[in-house]
Amino acid sequence: MSTDDGEDFSPRRDGPPPIRISRRTLLLGIGALAVSGAAGYWLTEGQPSTPGTSFTTPLRVPPLLESEIIDGERVFRLAAQSGETELIPGTRFSTMGFNGTYLGPTIRATRGERVRMHVTNELSMPTTAHWHGMILPATQDGTPHQSIKPSETWSAAWQINQPATTLWYHPHPHGQTELQVSRGMAGMFIIDDDSSAALPSNYGVDDIPLIIQDVAVSPGGSPGTATAAPIGRIGNSVIINGTHQPRLEASTSLVRLRILNASAARCYNLELSTQEAFHLVGTDGGHLPSPESLTQLLLSPAERAEILVQLSPGADLVLRSTPHDLGMSHGDNIASGAEDTLDILRITGPNVPVSGVVPDALGSAELPRMADVTTERHFTLGNTTINGKSMDMSRIDTVISANATEMWTISNSSNRAHNFHIHGTQFAVSSRNGRTPEVQNRGLKDTVLISRGDTVELIVPFSSFADSSTPYMYHCHLLWHEDQGMMAQYVLTDDEHPPEPSPDDQHDHH
Ligand code: C2O
Ligand code: CU
Ligand code: CU
């Protein structure tokens, strides 16, 4: 079997294990003695001692994917590839990516544009390219129904018609999504419109993508095996845009971070080491009416958040993930990484203030309205099932009228934490356990965390792309659960595209 078919992360180690104590840490220690009592911010009493403050590797920024305009369409080309990547200095991992061996370039397009994607599969196994969070016809969505065989090219085209936001793309092959995504097949898909002018938008300078994945590393620094947890496989080290222990040397005092949790299972409870507030400006599907000040932000796999971080002169801080509660038993929370503290990114700021104020108002994305709801549905999450069923590619679980707005009530009655993602829409979370949802879930969303015992109500607007034969998916985005079959399918119908008889009905009639 070739390297991309293996079950585990089985990287080869070349060279010595990474040295954990950097030179700067040592110098810092000596400095602390020499200048004790001085007001150096990094010597402040009570600040947690953490490797994050010594991160030195410049943060990689995924390149923007080039495009060309052909017949009025913006045309992009992607190739699914595999290989080995030195994700940690001295340690090579078997990885997969788009246009490279790990992650993929950032795709950027403007609302209103027609785009065309050519995706070539250079892997030795089938893959797909799914545009997560995009509102588009089901035939273009890159689900298991649009499988790309090795050495084939698949093309998708649609018109972008949704607000400025940070989406992403990743494979969705039947039963193999965890393998391919956790090895690195993930990239950002940024949509621009003219409403986000108030936000920093110089890509890679003050508008920074952060794609967070976790990998397993053994105590000696060699590659390890991810821990099997109730929510999927958990790595013990984080890699940001392919960078281990990254440092972002900001040249401006206001930095916009587009954060994507591209991990298979791990959730991140993000905060700043200074405990300062940051400003949430966007959720999965668009911007908020105005920035919301937060000190913590919990992101489950596939969720995105856009935040602004205001850096005071000479700032040196760490974005980190801290313990959180996934609602499971104590042991299951621990196994699922919920009690870990992980340093993600060191951010240093300029010594003097450089441009940028947090805007008062943003061009906000319109939320679907309760008044438009015509149909209500209920879904119950089991350990790996939705309404007691496991994914069947030939079964349509839900038939929905094109253009309808529906209320979906989703209850997690299982022993595990889950999240819930619906393709082809951006929804509003109207309540969690009967109460107003937390700030981070008040904008447009396509994925929402549903901890054990929780019930969420979603107002889901469906598009006009009626197609009774090609389904969209909805599923848990903890990828091991998804691969286990925690996924179902819906079709959009209208008068010209009436529901098709189910396979069982066909047997009855023929
Ligand atoms: Cu991120 Cu079904 O997808
Ligand atoms: Cu999706
Ligand atoms: Cu799940």
CATH number at residue 169: 2.60.40.420
Number of domains in the chain: 3
- Please give the structure tokens belonging to residue 48: 């947690």
Question: Which numbered ligand comes closest to the C-alpha of 414?
Answer: 3
Task: Band the pLDDT of 67: cuts 50, 70, 90.
Answer: very high
Confidence at residue 28, expressed as pLDDT on a 0 to 100 scale: 34
Q: How far is CA 174 from CA 61, 97, 137, 143, in A?
A: 30, 18, 19, 8
Residue 188 CA to ligand 2 center (angstroms) comes to 13
Assess whether the C-beta atom of 416 lies below 6 angstroms from ligand 1. no
Atom of ligand 1 nearest to the CA of 423: 2
The answer to whether residues 42 and 152 belong to one domain is: no
- Tell me if 6 is assigned to some domain: no
Place of tokens 């805007």: 359
- Please give the structure tokens belonging to residue 269: 């409870």
The answer to whether residues 219 and 330 belong to one domain is: yes
Q: Global pTM?
A: 0.89
Residue 389 CA to ligand 3 center (angstroms) comes to 13
Instruction: Tell me the pLDDT tens digit for each residue of 149-160.
Output: 999 999 999 999
Instruction: Tell me the pLDDT tens digit for each residue of 295-334.
Output: 999 999 999 999 999 999 999 999 999 999 999 999 999 9
The answer to whether residues 109 and 148 belong to one domain is: yes
The answer to whether residues 424 and 462 belong to one domain is: yes
Query: What are the start-end ranges of the H helices in 183-234?
Result: none
Confidence at residue 220, expressed as pLDDT on a 0 to 100 scale: 80
Q: Among candidates 9, 435, 352, which has minimal Cα distance to 213? A: 9
Three-class SS string for 483-501?
Answer: HCCCEEEEEEEECCECCCC
Q: How far apart are CA 215 and CA 222, in angstroms?
A: 11
Instruction: Tell me the pLDDT tens digit for each residue of 411-450.
Output: 999 999 999 999 999 999 999 999 999 999 999 999 999 9
The answer to whether residues 129 and 262 belong to one domain is: no
Confidence at residue 59, expressed as pLDDT on a 0 to 100 scale: 98
The answer to whether residues 83 and 206 belong to one domain is: no
Residue 450 CA to ligand 3 center (angstroms) comes to 9
Average pLDDT of the chain to the nearest whole number: 89
Residue 344 CA to ligand 3 center (angstroms) comes to 24
Assess whether the C-beta atom of 172 lies below 6 angstroms from ligand 1. yes
**Strand 246-249 relative to strand 342-348, pairing:** parallel
Burial group, residue 201, by CB count within 10 angstroms (0-12, 13-18, 19+): middle
Residues spanned by the domain of 171: 57-194
The answer to whether residues 154 and 283 belong to one domain is: no
Instruction: Tell me the pLDDT tens digit for each residue of 274-299.
Output: 999 999 999 999 999 999 999 999 99
- Tell me if 13 is assigned to some domain: no
The answer to whether residues 273 and 303 belong to one domain is: yes
Q: Whose CA is nearest to atom 1 of ligand 1?
A: 132
The answer to whether residues 96 and 188 belong to one domain is: yes
Q: Among candidates 74, 96, 99, 100, which has minimal Cα distance to 156? A: 74
- Is residue 18 pLDDT above 50, yes or no? no
Strands (E), 146-245: 153-159, 165-170, 187-192, 207-215, 227-229, 232-234, 237-240, 243-244
Instruction: Tell me the pLDDT tens digit for each residue of 115-145.
Output: 999 999 999 999 999 999 999 999 999 999 9
The answer to whether residues 182 and 302 belong to one domain is: no
Atom of ligand 1 nearest to the CA of 487: 2
The answer to whether residues 217 and 264 belong to one domain is: yes
Q: Among candidates 94, 88, 162, which has minimal Cα distance to 131? A: 162
- Which residues place a Cβ less than 5 A from the ion ligand 3? 418, 476, 478, 481
Q: Whose CA is nearest to atom 3 of ligand 1?
A: 132
Torsion (CA) 443, 449, 454, 460 in degrees, nearest 10: 50
The answer to whether residues 63 and 134 belong to one domain is: yes
- Tell me if 1 is assigned to some domain: no
